[in-house]
Structure 1
Amino acid sequence: MGGFLDGFGLALFIPLIQVAGKDQIDKAEAAESLGSLSFLLDFITWTGLELTAVVILVFLLSIFVAKGLFKYMESHYKVMVQMFFVKKIRYQMVDSLGDMEYRNFLGLDAGRVQNTLSGEIYKIVSAYVAYFNTLQSFVLLLVYVVLALLANFQFALVVSVGGYLSNLIFKVIFKYTESASLNNSQLSHKYQSSLIQAVHNFKYLKATNYFQRYKIKLKDYVDKIELEQKKIGIFNAILLAAREPLVIAIVVGAILVEIKLLNGNIAAIFLSLMFFYRALNFIMLVQTHWQAFTANLGGLHVGLELLKDLEKGKEQDVSKKQVENIKSLSLQKVGFYYHPEKMVLHQIDLTIENNRSYALVGKSGSGKTTLTNLLVGLVHPTAGKFLLNGEPLRSFNLASYRSKIGYITQEAVIFNDTVFNNVTFWSDKTEENYKKFEHALNLANLSELVDSLPLKEETILGDSGALISGGQKQRISIARELFKEAQLLIFDEATSALDSETEKMIQQNIDSLKGSCNIVLIAHRLSTVKNADEILLMKDGEVECRGTFSQLLNESETFKSMVELQEF
Structure 2
Amino acid sequence: MNEYFKKIIRFAIPYKKYAFLNIFFNILYALFSALSFVALIPMMTILFGDEKKITTPPVYTDIWHIKDYLENYMSFYITQHSTENGAQNTLMIMAAFIISLFLLKNLFNYWAMYFITFLRNGVLKDMRNAMFKKAVDLPLSFFSEKRKGDIISRITSDVLEIQHSFLSILEVLVREPLTILFTIIAMFMISTELTIFVFIFVPISGIIISKVGKTLKKSSQKASLEQGYFLSIIDESLSGLKVIKSFNGEKAFNNKFQQSTKTFYDLSNKILNRQNLSSPLSEFLGIVTIAVLLVYGGHLVLGEGTLTGASFIAYIGMAYNILTPAKAMSKASYSLKRGYAAAERVLEVLEEKNPITSKENAIDKTSFEKAIAIDNITFRYGDDNVLHDFTLTIAKGKQIALVGQSGSGKSTIANLLTRFWDINEGAIKIDDADIRDLNIHSLRNMIGLVTQDSILFNDSIKNNLKLGKEDASDEEIIEALKVANAYEFVSELPEGIDTNIGDSGNKLSGGQKQRLSIARAVLKNPPIMILDEATSALDTESEKLVQVALENMMKNRTSVVIAHRLSTIQKADLIVVMQKGRIVEQGTHEELLQHNGTYAKLVSLQTLE
**Superposition TM-score, scaled by structure 1 size:** 0.70
TM-superposed CA distance for 1:332, in Å, is 4.4
TM-superposed CA distance for 1:468, in Å, is 0.9
* Counterpart mapping for 1:515-554 below 5 A: 515-554=555-594
Residue 147 (1) aligns with residue 186 (2): yes
* Counterpart mapping for 1:118-137 below 5 A: 118-135=156-173, 136-137=175-176
Partner in structure 1 of residue 549 of structure 2: 509
Residue 87 (1) aligns with residue 125 (2): yes
Residue 416 (1) aligns with residue 454 (2): no
Equivalent of 1:300 in 343, 356, 362: 343
Q: Which has the higher contact order (CA 8 A, sep 6+)?
A: 1
Partner in structure 1 of residue 31 of structure 2: 4
TM-superposed CA distance for 1:29, in Å, is 11
Residue 479 (1) aligns with residue 523 (2): no
TM-superposed CA distance for 1:146, in Å, is 2.3
Q: Given residue 169 of structure 2, which amino acid in structure 1 is its aligned partner?
A: Y
Name the SS for the 1:274 alignment partner. Answer: helix
TM-superposed CA distance for 1:370, in Å, is 1.2
Count of residue pairs the alignment pairs up: 452
Distance 1:280 1:383, change over 3 A: closer
TM-superposed CA distance for 1:403, in Å, is 2.2
Equivalent of 1:400 in 438, 442, 445: 442
Distance 1:551 1:426, change over 3 A: closer
Mapped to 2, the partners of 1:302 and 1:63 lie a distance apart of 45
Unaligned runs of 5+ in 1: 154-191, 201-266
Distance 1:68 1:341, change over 3 A: closer
Distance 1:112 1:410, change over 3 A: same
User: For the Cα contact (< 8 Å) 1:361–1:523, is it kept in 2?
Assistant: yes
Partner in structure 2 of residue 13 of structure 1: 40
* Counterpart mapping for 1:91-490 below 5 A: 91-135=129-173, 136-152=175-191, 274-308=317-351, 310-311=352-353, 315=357, 317-338=359-380, 342-425=384-467, 433-490=473-530
CA deviation map 1:523-553 (0-9, x unaligned): 1112321222221111121122222222222
CA deviation map 1:346-385 (0-9, x unaligned): 2322222223221110111111111111111222332222
Mapped to 1, the partners of 2:72 and 2:439 lie a distance apart of 72
Distance 1:556 1:143, change over 3 A: farther
Mapped to 2, the partners of 1:284 and 1:68 lie a distance apart of 19
User: For the Cα contact (< 8 Å) 1:96–1:307, is it kept in 2?
Assistant: yes
CA deviation map 1:41-77 (0-9, x unaligned): 969999xx97955654554444344333422332123
Distance 1:472 1:37, change over 3 A: farther
Q: Given residue 537 of structure 2, which amino acid in structure 1 is its aligned partner?
A: A
Over the aligned positions, Cα root-mean-square deviation in angstroms equals 3.8
Residue 36 (1) aligns with residue 63 (2): no
User: For the Cα contact (< 8 Å) 1:496–1:525, is it kept in 2?
Assistant: yes
Unaligned runs of 5+ in 2: 1-27, 60-64, 83-89, 193-230, 240-309
CA deviation map 1:200-224 (0-9, x unaligned): 9xxxxxxxxxxxxxxxxxxxxxxxx
Distance 1:37 1:421, change over 3 A: farther
TM-superposed CA distance for 1:341, in Å, is 5.2
User: For the Cα contact (< 8 Å) 2:190–2:315, is it kept in 1?
Assistant: no
User: For the Cα contact (< 8 Å) 1:327–1:353, is it kept in 2?
Assistant: no
Distance 1:74 1:134, change over 3 A: closer
User: For the Cα contact (< 8 Å) 1:359–1:529, is it kept in 2?
Assistant: yes
Could you tell me the percent identity over the aligned residues?
26
**Superposition TM-score, scaled by structure 2 size:** 0.66
Q: Given residue 542 of structure 1, which amino acid in structure 2 is its aligned partner?
A: R
Distance 1:472 1:151, change over 3 A: farther
Mapped to 2, the partners of 1:391 and 1:314 lie a distance apart of 17
Partner in structure 2 of residue 176 of structure 1: none
Mapped to 1, the partners of 2:54 and 2:498 lie a distance apart of 77
Name the SS for the 1:380 alignment partner. Answer: coil
Q: Given residue 15 of structure 1, which amino acid in structure 2 is its aligned partner?
A: P
Mapped to 1, the partners of 2:43 and 2:56 lie a distance apart of 12
Partner in structure 1 of residue 296 of structure 2: none
Please identify the structure whose Cα radius of gyration is greater: 2
User: For the Cα contact (< 8 Å) 1:330–1:349, is it kept in 2?
Assistant: no
Q: Given residue 283 of structure 1, which amino acid in structure 2 is its aligned partner?
A: A
TM-superposed CA distance for 1:114, in Å, is 3.1
Name the SS for the 2:353 alignment partner. Answer: helix
Mapped to 1, the partners of 2:595 and 2:481 lie a distance apart of 40
TM-superposed CA distance for 1:37, in Å, is 9.1
TM-superposed CA distance for 1:93, in Å, is 1.8
User: For the Cα contact (< 8 Å) 2:36–2:101, is it kept in 1?
Assistant: yes
Name the SS for the 1:566 alignment partner. Answer: helix
Mapped to 2, the partners of 1:43 and 1:410 lie a distance apart of 86
Higher mean Cα deviation, 132-141 or 556-565? Answer: 132-141
Q: Given residue 39 of structure 2, which amino acid in structure 1 is its aligned partner?
A: L
TM-superposed CA distance for 1:434, in Å, is 1.8
Mapped to 2, the partners of 1:518 and 1:30 lie a distance apart of 99
Mapped to 1, the partners of 2:424 and 2:68 lie a distance apart of 77
